[in-house]
Amino acid sequence: MRTTIKDVARAAGVSVSTASMALNDREGVSEATRAKVNRCARELCYIPSHSARSLVMRNSNCIGLMIPEIQNPFYSNIVDILTHIAAERGYTLLLGITNNSSRQEAAYVHMFLSYRVRAVILIPTLSNAPDTRHLELLRAAEVPIVFCTDRYTGCEEALVMCDFETGQYRITKYLIERGLRDLSFVSTRMDAFFSRLRYQGYVRALREAGIPSNPKRELFLEEPRYGDAYRATEKILDDLPQAVVCINDIMTLGIMKRLVEAGLRIPKDISVVGFDDIMFSELVTPPLTTVRQPLQAICEKTMALLEAKTLRKTWKSKDDRIYLVAPELILRGTSI
């Protein structure tokens, strides 16, 4: 059950009007009473209702969406697709950009609850050892959560994602079949679920071809960003492989820029492949060979699953199924 201001007032031993004045920092309440009311509100996990304040309908048609960043076109594409799907189904999206911060994610959880959202779509932050305690507020309020593209370790909500392992396996196998056996692998920290899956696919393709994995050819960066990959390319230039396999396109573009600056010709001197198929992948010269995440299908499945959960009469948070959507290999000009 959702905690109400009546519950807070009862716990603090004051009237509802006094509790309201204390929580809204109005005059006419002693500091001792104000402190007691606020302490009881925290202990009861009370979230003030924005809908009550603004006199909008209690049963909101809003769905909360949290993404880790907006600079990567991959995430902005997801926002665009989900916005259209939500509108077609009569919902409005409330967007929260967490900037890979658990604290910011927690702030958006509070905001979503104050707006009485029907459900939340969550794309996790990419931070190391994220704090997910704030998700308990959503569970306590019986607000359904569906993870999209990745999921926090230990969470028991459903996840809709690309089949990352298969996608990474297929593109690595393609390079090997083209005669490229000396490969470098560029990824982010291995605490991310999606990066572990991609690494597994990469290693599986090597193993099937009888190629031993080489730790010296593996780069695990702090952040999956363009600038980090651009700078890390210096290590690749020190001992040039035949091909670079990278786990996302935005990092791959940074690698390509540095390789070209060093005077290398792609793919004649070195092949480069990415993952995601963001809009810039086809526009860069030469166009990027990559793995396409079918974002339209992923977003449609996410919304359908979330909508089904909001219609259930008996809501349960535990539904740890993973729904995999098949990727597509996109062959362009950066691989021989």
pLDDT at residue 1 is higher than 80: no
Q: Name the domain count of the chain.
A: 3
Contact assessment for residue 19 and residue 12, using Cβ atoms and an 8 Å cutoff: yes
**Is the same domain home to 320 and 245?**
no
Residue-wise pLDDT for 180-228, tens only, equals: 999 999 999 867 788 899 999 999 999 999 999 999 999 999 888 999 9
The verdict on 78 and 27 lying in the same domain is: no
Nearest to 127 by CA among 143, 106, 111, 157: 106
Q: Residue 20 pLDDT > 70, yes or no?
A: yes
CA distances, 215 to each of 169, 199, 263, 272 (Å)? 18, 12, 26, 19
Q: Is the dihedral of CA 182, 243, 163, 209 positive or negative?
A: negative
Q: Are residues 281 and 316 in the same domain?
A: no
Residue 335 placed within a domain: no
User: Is there a single domain that holds both residue 222 and residue 175?
Assistant: yes
Domain presence at residue 60: yes
In angstroms, rounded to a whole number, what is the distance separating the alpha carbons of residues 115 and 50?
5
Same domain? 173 vs 158: no
Q: Does 248 lie in the same domain as 148?
A: no
- Alpha-carbon distance of 202 to 245, in angstroms, equals 9
172, 272: one domain = yes
- Looking at residue 181, its pLDDT comes to 96
Residue 273 lies in a domain: yes
Measured on CA atoms in the order 132, 102, 300, 159, is the torsion positive or negative?
A: negative
pLDDT, one tens digit per residue, over 35-90 is 999 899 888 888 776 544 443 434 578 999 999 999 889 999 999 999 999 999 99
Question: Do the domain assignments include residue 65?
Answer: yes
User: Which are the contacts of 236, defined by CB distance < 8 A and separation ≥ 6?
Assistant: 184, 186, 219, 244, 255, 259
Claim to verify: residue 286 and residue 304 sit in the same structural domain: no
pLDDT single digits (tens) 226-279:
999 999 999 999 999 999 999 999 999 999 999 999 999 999 999 999 999 999
Q: Which residues of 281-293 are buried (b: 16+ CB within 10 A; e: fewer)?
A: beebeeebbbbbb
Model pLDDT, residue 55: 38
> What is the residue range of 268's domain?
164-293
Position 105 in a domain: yes
Under a CB-based contact definition with an 8 Å cutoff, are residues 244 and 183 in contact?
A: yes
- Digit-coded pLDDT (tens) for 82-126: 999 999 999 999 999 999 999 999 999 999 998 889 999 999 998
Q: How many CB atoms lie within 10 A of CB 208?
A: 12
Question: Mean of the per-residue pLDDT values for the chain?
Answer: 91
d(CA 140, CA 134): 10
**CATH number of residue 300's parent domain:** 3.40.50.2300
Q: Give the pLDDT band (50/70/90) at residue 320.
A: confident
Query: Is 143 found in the same domain as 65?
Result: yes
* Of 54 and 161, the one with more pLDDT: 161
Contact 21, 28 (CB under 8 A): yes
Asked if residue 333 is part of any domain, the answer here is: no
Q: Are residues 148 and 218 in the same domain?
A: no
- What mean pLDDT is predicted for residues 288-299? 97
152 with 300, same domain? yes
